[in-house]
Chain A
Amino acid sequence: MTHRTLLCFLFFLLFFTTAHSQRSTNGFVKDHFTGETMAGVSVTDSASLKKTITNQYGFFSLKVKIPATLYFSSVGYQTSTFCIAQASDKSRIFEIKPAEYQLDEVEIKATKDDSQNQQIGYLSIPLERLNTIPTIFGEKDIFRALALTPGVSIGNEGTVGLFVRGGTPDQNLILLDEAPIYNSAHFFGIISVFNSEALKKVAMYKGILPAQYGGRVSSVIDVTMKEGNTKRHKKDHGIGLVTSSMLLDGPLSYKNRERGSYLVSGRAAYLGLATLPLWFLYQFGNSQQYFNYLLYDINAKINYKIDDKSRLYLSFYNSYDRWDSRQKYAADSRGRLNINWGNLTGTLRYNRILKPNLFLKSVLLFTRYQYDIGVATSQKIDDTFKTTDAYSLQSSLADVTAKTSLEYFANPNYTIRVGVEATRHSYQPTKVETTFELDPRVVEASNKIFKANEFGAFTEHEIAVSDALRFNAGLRLGAFSVQQQNYSSFEPRFSANLILPRNWSIKGGFAQMRQFIHLLSTNSIGLPNDVWVPATSAVRPQFARQYSVGVFKNYPAQKLTLSVEGYYKSLKDQIDYRTGSSLFADAGKPWETLIEKGGVGRAYGVEFFLNKTEGNFTGWLAYTLAWSESKFENINNGQWFYGNFDRRHSISLTGNYKISSSVNFSANWVFNTGRPATVPIAIIKANLDQSQPEFIYGDRNNYRLPAYHRLDAGINWDRRSKRNRTVTWSVGAYNVYSRRNPYYVEVNGSKNPQPQGTFDYRLYSYGLIPIIPYVGYVAKM
């Protein structure tokens, strides 16, 4: 760290400690019916017209003259007015009601607030809206919905790995109640690990990250779990084609409902039950093959009010997938393949209002991700099958993090955040266990555990210079220590909003980011065989710098927002597999020997977003024109090449039409330029002994697959059940016109070419997912 950096940081801290500490009105904003705290609610003082926004915990602090009248507004909620007659240091509770029949009154004000004041690259779409989007198998999926927004795309058909502004999936920091989630895929990536029924809010920053976020270079997807209903006990359940879910929540005590609440939610697939007959046929019948799939996720949360100023939150999350398949090779010989992966997180948070305008948050969290793939053969010996050969490859990582931060509402125009954090990482990129006699030195090198320490400190200043101009300036400092190697990071962040007349605004931002972890990916689709590896003494951490600027326009009468954003991102110290290498195919080799290091990247593009936020018809048109390129010394002779995640044109058209108060119709159409792929440039038959010719492969990603496009459509129908529950039926189809979008392409030869002595080779595309109809049922109290 340079002296200048240190001085700069100390200055920020000094400024913070000497800033104003006048008495303010403060409190929490909650949903009237559930008691859930609400983030992002706009709070306006009617006299001064000064505004503030509630933080992640629904807390706000605003300096007002008493008596005062405060307006509260949020998308989907009635604009509520509260009068404050007496000054008090105590935190107040403000409950606001969902809009229901007064939606129109709310929407204009809320829309204006949201789009004009939010920083560039920020995206938050209400979960209710995301949940109406038709998806594969009808599984509500926030990741699939985010992929319909500009600058965000998925890797391949039926997967959830997100590519944000040309970045790779590992460059997205996915947080669930502050804890990083390292693999967001269930069911081989077809659905995401987040059960949307248990979520309260999803916010995304595409590149210009506020200084409070660190450790990734592309984006942040900040997911917050519901806290639980403080008003009454509830039991919701949903039944879908693949999974069923249940959610229980309610107050910890009926006597004192403000004491806290709980939430428990579970989701599981019933493929295991469906495949039970296969197991009997395999075990006792003539079936030669058997497979089974287990999938579940559990969310649990307790929030407990210690006193008026302090609150404790305890969150737990576990997701797990297991594929098990078996095959009979012969009467006395069998084989088995199993793949398991899962996330486990736990977060303990303590919030305290130190002063009416000073908010403390302390977090202790744990996160673990692991996967393993195992193959085994067994032989029948003395009438029982005994494992004769076994081979398994595991990968895991675990983090323990402690962090604390302060949020200081100096005045309505100035909010400061400062914080520090420390993380102990433990990585084991590969762990081989086998009955085979591998060289012990090779196994030892392959099974190496990496321990690392990461430290971070940030300061962030949100300043409204005037009603028209506000900016967020921050600085993040980081340090990473691994294998006697120390890396540091200096990450300035800046964004500004300038509101112009006639609902125009201009926004811009700059961010520098460093990432101390890499993902070794053999594919562009986010399968679990991707392996997380740390920066080491031999592999430097990733670095990115992004500039972004945009023009925004609101059309209040039409309930439309329009934005055009441009960005340029440069990346350093990227890694990629050496051509032809993969951890699975090169099992037993240390990962550091399989990669190319020191790659650079650049991504740039323009994003158009026309969004109709309210009314009977809602939806958006998103178009992205983008380039994403990489350069490695030993790939393609050191020339720039398009990355797996390069999509020149991406279009998504999403619409939801409210046919009546209880029936709505949704559809979305997606188009992406085909992704790059590596194909042969020649065929040879060097040796006459060769039975088949051999392909010569050219440069990496020397071909582009055909374009990807599909249409999804569905109808949601709400009604009241006899038990007075809200029941929602969903019927629809994914990929309505059944386009077999290319999963991969391959050159294949004709088996019987004529005349003899000739070869006939053609290029084929292989598509996987046809039209998939779905039906779903959700009941809520």
Chain B
Amino acid sequence: MWQKCERLWVLLMAVLLQSCQETELGADLPYEGDRFVLYAELKPSEVVKLRLSKTYPPTGKFTVTSGLAGASVKLFENGLFKTQLAYSDSGNYVAQSGLKPKIGFAYSFEVALTGFPSANTQPVVIPQNVANAQAVLQKDTIASILTGAITRQLDVEWKDAENSPNDYLVTIEGLYQNQDLGLGGFNIGKDGEVEDGCSFARNRLRFVFKDNCFPAQTFKTSFGLNSFGSLQNSNLASGTRQRNVDFYRVSIANVSESYFRFLQDELQPTDIFVAFQLPKSRFSNVKNGYGIILAANETIFFVKAK
């Protein structure tokens, strides 16, 4: 809905005030200097890994590096030093001991490298498992807001854990012979990226639900999913990538609040909206740097397409 609205707003402004004339100002914006950029998704099923990169000036020409090597990256568990992460490739640092984060434990990082101000992160707690999770694909096709699509309904439910401040993230992918299909879909009863304070959607079929809107209840929600999609990361010509879905990969994750806030800030005003809306400062739990440390505990279903 927001995207439709945005298109119409742009139409409105374009017609009303004629087309904008773009003028390059030829001025470089002030740059505060290089800072660390951290990114990690901590899951109990995966070895701790952190990607380290840097900031770039807001204007000018620059080459994007694959990541920063040679940094000291320390992992802390419940405030105590746990291990040092070792560089692997492309700016990625991995816990050599094969350490996986534990449910209910809090993790944080400290990063140092010559030429950069040291950075550390606020602790994130690994959430509990999602209780009583189910994902069921209905047999019949349904009316769809997706033009020309054959759409089926996927019913998803889980039980919110009591006394848990975490939120939930449902991510759906379509698979064809284990290859990712770019898939269309929607949350039935909601539309696009309208935020009502309790849930919102982001691209690539990610749906975020605020825990405190449904305290200690069983969440039930349904999605309309296309039965075909376009192969991603394929060398095939663009008109020949359409494939029927074999399986839907449905991830229901209990996620840290940082997930909700990080994804919520994903959409920035662009074009003429810059004149009407203040830009968002993307949520970060990194001190003296940028980026995000996320924590999730996901339950994955492979649902056979019918």
Contacts and interface: CB of A to CB of B under 8 A. Distances in A.
B22 A685 contact: no
Interface string A434-449: 0011110010000000
Contact of B282 (A158, A525, A694, A770): A694
B55 A696 contact: yes
A683 B57 contact: yes
A703 B29 contact: yes
Given A580-B278, A766-B20, A337 B8 contact: yes
A615 interface: no
B58 A767 contact: no
B152 interface: no
Given A333-B147, A686-B53, A770 B7 contact: no
Given A684-B290, A744-B274, A679 B22 contact: no
Contact of A706 (B21, B25, B35, B275): B25
A433 to B, nearest CB: 13
A684 B55 contact: yes
Interface string B256-284: 00000000010111111011111111100
Nearest to A438: B196
Contacts of B22: 764-766
Given A329-B147, A375-B5, A759-B61, A678 B279 contact: yes
Given A337-B8, A436-B190, A706-B25, A579 B281 contact: yes
Contacts of B197: 439, 442, 586, 588-589
Contact of A740 (B21, B31, B53, B189): B21
A766 to B, nearest CB: 4
A335 B5 CA distance: 9
B254 to A, nearest CB: 20
Contacts of A740: 21, 23
Contacts of A587: 194-196
A589 B213 CA distance: 13
Contacts of B271: 746
B64 A693 contact: yes
B23 to A, nearest CB: 5
Contacts of B231: none
Contacts of A585: 2, 195, 267, 269, 277
Contacts of A687: 39, 51
B56 interface: yes
Contacts of A697: 279-281
B30 interface: yes
Given A289-B11, A388-B145, A694-B282, A686 B290 contact: yes
A584 B5 CA distance: 10
A753 interface: yes
Contact of B59 (A438, A747, A758): A747
Contacts of A377: 1, 4, 145
Nearest to A391: B1
A523 B275 contact: yes
B64 A764 contact: no
A67 interface: no
B17 interface: yes
Interface string B138-159: 0000000101100000000000
A450 B194 CA distance: 25
A254 interface: no
Contacts of B38: 686
A592 interface: no
B35 to A, nearest CB: 7
B29 A763 contact: yes
B196 A436 contact: yes
B216 interface: no
A675 to B, nearest CB: 11
B190 A763 contact: no
Nearest to A434: B194
> Looking at B7, B24, B29, which has the most chain A CB atoms within 10 Å of its CB?
B29
A764 B25 contact: yes
Nearest to B58: A680
B217 interface: no
B239 interface: no
B288 interface: no
A586 to B, nearest CB: 6
A325 interface: yes
B269 to A, nearest CB: 8
Nearest to A694: B282
A763 B27 contact: yes
B101 interface: no
Interface string A738-771: 0010111111000001000111111111111110
Interface in B1-58: 1-2, 4-5, 7-9, 11-12, 15-18, 20-32, 35, 37-39, 51, 53-58
A630 interface: no
Contacts of B37: 684-686
B164 interface: no
A587 B196 CA distance: 6
A652 interface: no
Contacts of B178: none
A698 B290 contact: no
A522 B278 contact: yes
Contact of A682 (B1, B27, B32): B32
Nearest to A755: B63
A765 B23 contact: yes
Contacts of A579: 278-281
Contacts of A584: 277
Nearest to B275: A744
Given A375-B8, A747-B59, A759-B61, A678 B278 contact: yes
Contacts of A385: none
B278 A582 contact: yes
A325 B11 contact: yes
Given A580-B280, A682-B55, A767-B23, A695 B268 contact: yes
A582 B195 CA distance: 12
B53 A684 contact: yes
Interface string A208-244: 0000000000000000000000000000000000000
Contacts of A698: 32
Contacts of B194: 391, 436, 587-588
B136 interface: no
A682 B277 contact: no
Contacts of A439: 196-198, 213
B225 interface: no
A527 interface: yes
Interface string A660-697: 00000000000000000011111111111000011111
Contact of B31 (A581, A682, A765): A682
A673 to B, nearest CB: 16
Contacts of A325: 8, 11-12, 15
Contact of A762 (B24, B189, B272, B274): B24
Nearest to A706: B25
Contacts of B26: 762-763
Contact of B198 (A442, A679, A747): A442
A196 interface: no
Contacts of B147: 329-330, 332-333
A577 interface: yes
Contact of A681 (B27, B58, B190, B196): B58
Contacts of A523: 275-277
B124 interface: no
A96 to B, nearest CB: 45
A707 to B, nearest CB: 12
B96 interface: no
A327 B267 CA distance: 23
Given A375-B5, A389-B1, A439-B197, A758 B17 contact: no
Given A681-B29, A681-B31, A766-B23, 15 more contacts: A330-B147, A337-B12, A389-B1, A579-B280, A586-B195, A588-B197, A682-B57, A682-B290, A693-B56, A702-B30, A706-B25, A762-B26, A763-B27, A763-B28, A766-B20
9 contacts: A188-B17, A325-B15, A375-B4, A525-B275, A587-B194, A684-B56, A758-B62, A761-B61, A763-B24
